[in-house]
Amino acid sequence: METLSATRQIRRKHQPPTRCTASEKQQVQLSSVRTFTDGFLRHRFLPLYEQDNDLPESVKIEKDFFESLRILTKHYGFETIAVRDKSYPYNILLAKEQIQKQLKKLEQDIELSIMQDDKGIVKLMTKHSYYTSMTLYYIPVLPLYRLLQNKKQKRTAELLLSVFAYLYHIAGIPYYRENNTYLFYQYECVQEWLMDCVESNEKEEVGTMSSEFNKASYYGDILFRKLYNLYHLNNFKQRIDNYKPTTAFEKKCLTVAKTAWKLMIQYPDNNIFRNTSNQDFDESDGIIRAEQYISFIAENEGVLFENISRAINDEFNECSEIEEPTLLQIFDSENRFSNEKLDFEYRLFPLLIDLCTLLNETP
């Protein structure tokens, strides 16, 4: 399909991924250098446009565009935009600009573009995106295993085990001990390296990493067997209802559990990867797949993790594209519209951050 009028997409510059964390950048407050007159503020500027010798015929383009615009505004419930008094192509560019402003008010990353199909019909298309901020959404499981060994924290551990069960069975997050997962391969590489370093001079580091690897394997398998049991998913609501938090940590656990439960009830069939394969990439450029940066992991600290994360960073730095949740919608009379957006993703990813933060605070 050819693009009639579009802004060139700038690829994001890749940076080393960060661990799943709840830290936020502080916002910088900006102030005006000088005071502008009210007349300047009230002035309305038309979009910049450079005349092209191959400008399409106005009659057909306007007919197609404004029909697509009518469908879009009806779908979203937007105000009708009066631009018919503007000359072509300013009327189209101005209408697109005003719709984009209304889309921004929906508090999701939605990009509006004008496209042309194989029949030459001009249409509007929205692209919903969730920017993952180059974060490794790796959920550590050994903190939960240690919590399960604490008799005083049994109910808390079981509550979090139900959260894990939801994330694994329904949200579809991979577990690092399954041999078809990305992190299983990373741990396998570490195992091979440890076997080759028996005579290494760095005995202390090798010994520490070997000990951490054995714990990640052994205790990870134990927790996986528990997690695999649907009993923890079926008793999720009962555990929430019976849980009586007394400490700040326990109250946070209950909040996370309730958030996960609401997601499970409102989106019972939604998988975290449901919208991550909606973009076309050039395979030769290297792609970071969603399954590579979303997973359960043994720990998100220690010598073993630092070595694995370094290997992952090196691999990801060779890539120029990343799979992220994306939803495309073309507005024409041939498509059946739904109210589906990325609401699930905009709630699930923050939940993963809160859960990772919580697991790092386990007593």
Q: What is the DSSP string of 258-283?
A: HHHHHHHHHSTT--TTTTSS-S---G
Cβ–Cβ < 8 Å for 363, 153: yes
Please compute the mean of the pLDDT values over residues 122-145 and round it to a whole number.
94
What is the average pLDDT score of the chain? 84
Give the pLDDT confidence score for residue 32 in this predicted structure.
Answer: 31
User: Using alpha carbons only, what angle is made at residue 142 by residues 137 and 145, rounded to the nearest 5 degrees?
Assistant: 130
Q: How confident is the model at residue 256 (pLDDT cuts 50, 70, 90)?
A: very high
Query: Can you state the percent helix, strand and coil of the chain, rounding each to 5?
Result: 50, 10, 40
- The answer to whether residue 357 scores a pLDDT higher than 60 is yes
Please compute the mean of the pLDDT values over residues 62-88 and round it to a whole number.
88
Segments making up each domain of the chain, as ranges: 56-129, 135-323+338-359
Question: Which of 86-90, 166-170, 208-212 is least confident?
Answer: 86-90
Give the pLDDT confidence score for residue 272 in this predicted structure.
Answer: 97
- The answer to whether residue 36 scores a pLDDT higher than 60 is no
The tokens for 123 are 């249409």
- The answer to whether residue 13 scores a pLDDT higher than 70 is no
Q: What percent of the chain has pLDDT over 70?
A: 81
- The answer to whether residue 288 scores a pLDDT higher than 80 is yes
For 27, phi then psi, to 5°, come to: -80, 140
Q: Which of 21, 22, 275, 220 is nearest to 136 (CA)?
A: 21
Cα–Cα distances in angstroms (integers) from residue 152 to residues 156, 158, 202, 222, 356, in the given order: 9, 12, 40, 20, 21
